[in-house]
Structure 1
C-alpha cells in the first residue's frame, strides 16, 4: 500500500521548513510497448523495458513556506515556478501545476509551500525518447525526498521507490518504469512474476548479458512530435485492433521476460522488432491516423536488419513513440557494431547525431 502523508503533520512542519532536493532519473526504452490506458493512468497491457544511462533528466526541487516566498501565488492551490534548461517554461509549468494539485490528497502539505523546480535533460525532449518518463520519475523522487526532509519520516528503500513509481505513473505512465534500473515490468502478466498496474517492478531474474546491453539512439529527428503520446493513447479506445493488440502484448510480455531470464537473443530480437512495428502500425490505423516515422527511420531499419543477416551479429532495433531508432546489441559486439553505426547509420540522422547509451542501475539522488 502507498503510504499517505499524515494530515496532522501538515501545517506546522511545512510552514517552518525549507530545503532543496535533487534526483537524476533515466529514460527507458520499452521492449514490449504500453499503448492504451484506462482509469487513472493504468495500462491496458503489461510492458517491459530497459532503463537507460546517458539519457536522463536532472531535477532540483527547492521549497520554502509560502509566507517566506517573494513570488508565492496565494490565489492558487499550488505555488510554483518551473524552469526547463534554466528558462521559464509556462506550458510545462501548467502541466506540473495540474499534476501537483492532483497529489494533494497524498501530499496535503504542498498547499503550504512555494516550490521552485529546475529541470534539465541530457537529450532532446518530445522527440520520442521518453522525456516525460525521466522527468516525471525525477520529480516524483524529489517529492518523496522532500516529504522525508519536512517530516523526518523514512521508508525502506523498496517502499520509497514503490511510492515514487506510483506517483510518477500518475504524471506519465511510462515514468513508472524509470525509477528502477535494468529491466522493469509494469502491468499485470499471466505468469507468476511479481507485477502491478500501480507501479513498476524491477525484474530481478535478468540474464547477465542484458546487464550492460547497449542502446545507441539514432536521432533521426530532434523536433517535437506531431502527435503527443497522450493523444495517441486516447486513440486506442476506438482502434479496431485494440483487443487483438492487448492479447498479443500479454503474450509478448511473458515471452520477453523468459528471454530476459534465459539470455535467448533470438527470441529477444524477434519480439523487440515485432513490438516496434506493431506500435507504429497501431498509430497508422487509428482514427485519425498518424505517422511518426520518417523516411530515414525506415532506411535505418533496413540497414540494421541487412547488417544482422550478413554478419550474424545479434543486433536489432526498436522504436519509441517517435522517429528515432534505438539500436540494441550486447556490449561484447560493440567494437564491430560501432563502425557500422558511424559509417552506415549516422548519415541518416539529423546532423549525424546519435547517443551512445546502455542499460543502467536506475535513478540516483544528487547532492
Structure 2
C-alpha cells in the first residue's frame, strides 16, 4: 500500500455525536527500531512481542461543531485534565489530518488511563497513541460503514505510527513486524503486520517480567535519540545488523531454538544502548542496577541452563523474557535475586497478548 490509499473518499454517512472506547497494549521490541526517516518511517525493520497486561484505556467523546479552523479537544488522564498532553496530540492531529479530514468538524474529549503506573518507567506512547488512533478509526468507520476489518486495522496502525513509531506495533498481536524486510511477506514501512511465518509453540504465552529499575523521566527522550542516528558513525552498520537479526530470527521462531533466540535478543538490546553511548552527544540510559540485573541473569542461566534472557527499551528498565513452561523456577529467581534491584521493589508481570480490543461504553 501507498499513503494515498489511506486518503478517504467522500464519506457516505454523517454522525453528530457519540463515544468510542478502546484498550490497546504496549509492546516490547526484540529487534529494535532506532533511527527514523522523515514522516515516521523506520530506518530499519523491527519485530516485537505484544504485551497483555500493560495497556492504555482510552475513551473518545465527540460532538459535531458548526465550524472551526482549529482542532478542538480536551484531554483527561486518570480523571484529571492534562493540558500538558495537548501539544503532542495537536501534533498528531496535524500529521493525520489529511487522512482523517473530519478532525476539525468535531469537538473531542479524550479520557485515558493506564493499567500500569503512569510514572513507572514503562513507555505509554505506544499504547496511548494506538488506542487514540483506534478511536479515530471507529469514528471514520461510522462515516464509512463499508470499510473492511483488514483495512481498519492497517489504517489504525498507519495512523498510530504518525503519533509514535512503536505504536503501530500495538494494534494486533502476538508478534508484529514493522518495516519493510525482503524476507517477510507483506511487511511495510507504513504500518505493522502480524508476523506472518511459522511460530513454534514455545513462544506462545511467553512471559515478560518488567523490572522497574528507574521510574524517573529519561534524561534523553527517544525522539532525540532517534535523531542522533543521523550522521552516527555506526548507523549504516546498525541498520544492516537489525536486518540480519530479523532474518536470523525466522528459523528461530519456526524451530523454537531458544539458545539462538537469547543470543539475538540480548545482542539487539545491547546494540541499542551502544548506539546511544556512541552518538554525539553521547548518553547512557542504563543505571548501575540495570547492569547488576544483566549479570545476575547471565550467572543464573549459566548455572541452571534455564532459557531466561533480558531485553531493554530506551531506558533503564529490564524486561526478563522466558517460556511459560519454566515460569515457576525463573520467577522464584526473579523474586529472590532481581526484585531487590528495582526502585521500591516494583515490577510488573506480563506476557504475550493478542492486541487491542474495543470496549463497550459500560466497561
Q: TM-score, normalised by structure 2?
A: 0.94
Say which SS state the counterpart of residue 20 (structure 2) adopts.
strand
Quick check: 1:203 aligned with 2:195? yes
Change (3 A) 1:60 1:354: same
Match of 1:186 in 2: 178
Higher mean displacement: 204-213 or 32-41:
204-213
* Deviation of the 1:189 alpha carbon: 1.5
Cα distance in 2 between the residues matched to 1:303 and 1:230: 31
TM-score (norm 1): 0.93
Provide the rounded CA distance (Å) in 1 between the counterparts of 2:120 and 2:227: 19
Distance across 2 between alignment mates of 1:192 and 1:167: 22
Residue in structure 1 matching 2:154, options 151, 162, 169: 162
Post-superposition CA distance 1:126-146 (Å, at most 9, x none): 765331111111111111001
Q: Judge which range, 127-136 or 346-355, deviates more.
A: 127-136
Superimposed CA distance per residue, residues 141-161 of structure 1 (whole angstroms, 9 cap, x where no aligned partner): 111001122x25242222111
The answer (yes or no) to whether the contact 2:121–2:216 under 8 Å persists in 1 is no
Structure 2: segments with no counterpart, 5+ residues: none
Relative to structure 1, the CA distance from residue 121 to residue 252 in structure 2 (aligned partners, 3 Å threshold; closer, same or farther) is same
**Residue pair 2:25, 2:356 contacting (<8 A) in 1 also:** yes
Matched, 1:6 2:9: yes
CA–CA distance in structure 1, aligned partners of residues 263 and 351 of structure 2 = 20
Counting only pairs closer than 5 Å after superposition, residues 36-115 of structure 1 correspond to structure 2 as 36-67=35-66, 74=68, 77-115=70-108
Seen in structure 2, the aligned counterparts of structure 1 residues 324 and 248 have a Cα distance that, compared at 3 Å, is: same
Is the Cα contact below 8 Å between 2:262 and 2:309 reproduced in 1?
A: yes
CA distance in 1, matches of 2:160, 2:52: 18
- Pairs within 5 Å for 1:204-219: 204=196, 205-219=198-212
Deviation at 1:106, TM superposition (A): 1.2
Q: Does the 8 Å CA contact 1:49/1:177 hold for their aligned counterparts?
A: yes
Q: Distance in 2 between matches of 1:344 and 1:192?
A: 39
Output one character per residue of 1:92-134: Cα deviation in whole Å (capped at 9) or x when no partner: 1111012112222111111110000011112244765331111
> C-alpha root-mean-square deviation of aligned residues, in Å?
1.6
SS in 2 for 1:188: coil
**What does residue 334 of structure 1 align with?**
327
CA distance in 2, matches of 1:315, 1:20: 43
The gaps in structure 1 that reach 5 residues or longer are 68-72
Which residue of structure 2 aligns with residue 70 of structure 1? none
Q: Deviations over 1:328-355 (max 9, x none)?
A: 0000001111111111011110111110
Aligned residues: 356
How many angstroms apart in 2 are the aligned matches of 1:154 and 1:56?
A: 29
**Cα distance in structure 2, aligned partners of 1:342 and 1:358:** 17
Q: Give the match for residue 225 of structure 1.
A: 218
Partner of 2:299: 306
Specify whether residues 173 and 126 from structure 1 end up closer, same or farther in structure 2 by C-alpha distance, changes over 3 A only. farther
* SS of match in other structure, 1:31: strand
Contact 1:24 1:56 in 2 (8 A): yes
**2:347 matched residue in structure 1:** 354
Name the CA shift for 1:209/1:180 in 2 (closer, same or farther; >3 Å).
same
Matched residue SS, 1:108:
coil
Structure 2 residue aligned with 1:319: 312
- SS of the residue 2:219 aligns to: coil
Distance 2:119 2:264 in 1: 26
Deviation of residue 227 (structure 1)?
Answer: 1.0
Contact 1:214–1:329 (CA under 8 A) maintained in structure 2 = yes
For residues 79 and 94 of structure 1, what CA distance do their matches in structure 2 show? 12
272-281 or 126-135: which moved more?
Answer: 126-135
Are the counterparts in 2 of residues 211 and 359 from structure 1 also a CA contact under 8 Å? Answer: yes
